[in-house]
Every structure is written in C-alpha cells, then in structure tokens.
Copies of this chain bind each other. A is one copy, B any other.
C-alpha cells in the first residue's frame, strides 16, 4: 500500500510528495466520457462496478497517490428521499423554504439508504494499492442547494434565510451535519482511509458569518469523526479569510484554493494542520512549460515543509488534456 497521502496528512516526512486531483475521476478522461454516453450520473453512482471503474480510471492513467470515490455531494440527500437531479448542477424539485421542510430531512442510514456507495468503497479498498478518500458536502454547501433549489451566483436566498431565521438555519445545518457524519463514518467502515469535506461555497461568507452560522455544524462533523483515526480534509473555494476557521472546525488538513499562496496559507494556519493544494486548474490548459513553472511555484511556496499534499486549487477542468496531468504527477513525484 502506498501510504504517502496518509503520511503527509499527518505531517510525517514522505519519500515522494503525494498528489491527487479534485475531480480526477470523470470529466476530462476519454474512457469516462465513453462510459457516460451509455449511463447517467446517478446510474453510475448506484452501480458499484461502474462507480469503482470510474474511480480507478485516473489511478491507472495518471498514477496519482489516492483515489477519490466517484459520487456526488448530493447523493446522501437523494438517499434520504430529497428529489434532486444533476443537470449537471443540482436541481431540486421542491426547494426548502421554512421549518416545515425539515421533516423531509430524516437521518441517513447509510447501509440501507445508499448501499451502492459502500459497496463501491469496499470494491475499491479491495482492489487498490492507494488509499480511497471518502467524501461529503459540508452542511453550508448542501443547505445552499436545498434553499436555492440549485446553483446560485450570489447565494442571496441562502444568506437571507441564514440571517432572517437563525433557528431554522441552525436546525437545517445540524440535520445535514448528522447526515454527513453518518455517511462518512460508513464510508470509513467500508474501507475509506481518509475523508474530505467539501464546503465548496463557504467562501461566499464573511468570517463573522461563518463563525456564527456555520462553524457549529462543521465542528459537529469533525468531532463526529475524531475517533476513527483517519485524516480529515476540509476544503472550500475562495476561503482565504476562512482558513483558520476551516482548521478550527477540527480538520487535520486544510485544502487551499489557488488564490492563496501556500506560504501565506501556512502563516495563517500555523503548524498544527497539513495543507492540500493548490495549482490553479486553469494552468493545466497551458503548455507544459507553463504548468511546470507554476507547479514549481506551488512547491516553492510550501518550501519543502512536511504536511503537504499536492493537488489543484479546485477541480480538474473538463477541457484538460489528461497527458498534462500525467506529466504533472511525475513532476511532483520528482520522476
């Protein structure tokens, strides 16, 4: 087993710097696109052989040091009965508007509600010699989809609810935190060796709003995983001002987007947590010489400190040439 990812998460020295890419499974890979011509997203999520195949494709092709389960952050919501589709962003049939909607958010029973996810993790854990990363969406980001009914450029409605009805908001996030903990604990029990919590839209919040209205729920998640002994990665986009709070929530590793140079991120975070990141995904659309220059910039900003997992600052863009990613993995490995 290649454990460089786990070692780096715990701040231990590693022989080769671990690297993986958010959204490495799917999107830019031709073998994935071929599969998608025959199957819908949820069809793949719900078919363990297919989901495991898509998860393993980038491990084979790119040589990354971790696999991340091919699924979506809304899968546990669909699993408790929320009518939600991916087009490709989430679209809800009936957005959440008031406390009456909370009844639709019952606790998740992972083995009964989403056995296909756990079967996929089991298949992967049996097949792969790199760690499988389990994942979930964070309560704020999940709540934004429930309240907006889909994607939003401003999260105006989400924030309006957050500000106008703090009791409903707190209960909503608390229930979502419960679902997230159940999902992640089950993924770890099935064989995931690390977990990542995606709070993709947390960066829309000021630090004061995050602390007041979101931190209690994310704390609950990380506390609810503490006894498992697996590294807990916490990631969001545009979170330069929230990095300390993402760590304070209880993460072992904080994901940093490309906007914040790693030396600045380290200065804000201190030495207690590892960092993951943070090459701009758009750089991978450029010629190799530029990719190498910018990747070197990331490595230099970290300055060789232990506790670094190389990644992009957000997900792989669909237009990316997989060969560039393959070269990038070799480059980070020093091959």
Contacts and interface: CB of A to CB of B under 8 A. Distances in A.
Interface of A: 154-157, 159-160, 163-164, 203, 205-209, 238, 240-241, 258-261, 264, 280-283, 285-287, 290, 294, 297, 317, 319
B261 A240 contact: no
Given A160-B286, A283-B159, A287-B163, A259 B206 contact: yes
B238 A280 contact: no
B241 A290 contact: no
Contacts of A294: 163, 208
Nearest to A291: B163
Given A238-B238, A287-B164, A154 B282 contact: yes
Nearest to A320: B156
A123 B136 CA distance: 56
A159 B261 contact: no
Nearest to A317: B156
Contacts of A203: 238, 259
Given A208-B261, A240-B240, A240-B241, A280 B317 contact: no
Contacts of A163: 282-283, 285-287, 290, 294
Count identical subunits in the complex: 2
Nearest to A208: B297
A283 B161 CA distance: 10
Most buried by B among A206, A207, A264, A285: A206
Contacts of A240: 240-241, 259
A199 to B, nearest CB: 14
Nearest to A242: B259
A246 to B, nearest CB: 14
Nearest to A261: B207
11 contacts: A156-B281, A157-B285, A159-B286, A160-B282, A160-B285, A163-B285, A163-B286, A164-B285, A164-B290, A241-B259, A241-B261
Nearest to A258: B206
Contacts of A283: 159, 163
Contacts of A281: 154, 156
Contacts of A205: 259
A313 to B, nearest CB: 8
Nearest to A158: B282
A264 B238 CA distance: 16
A155 B314 CA distance: 13
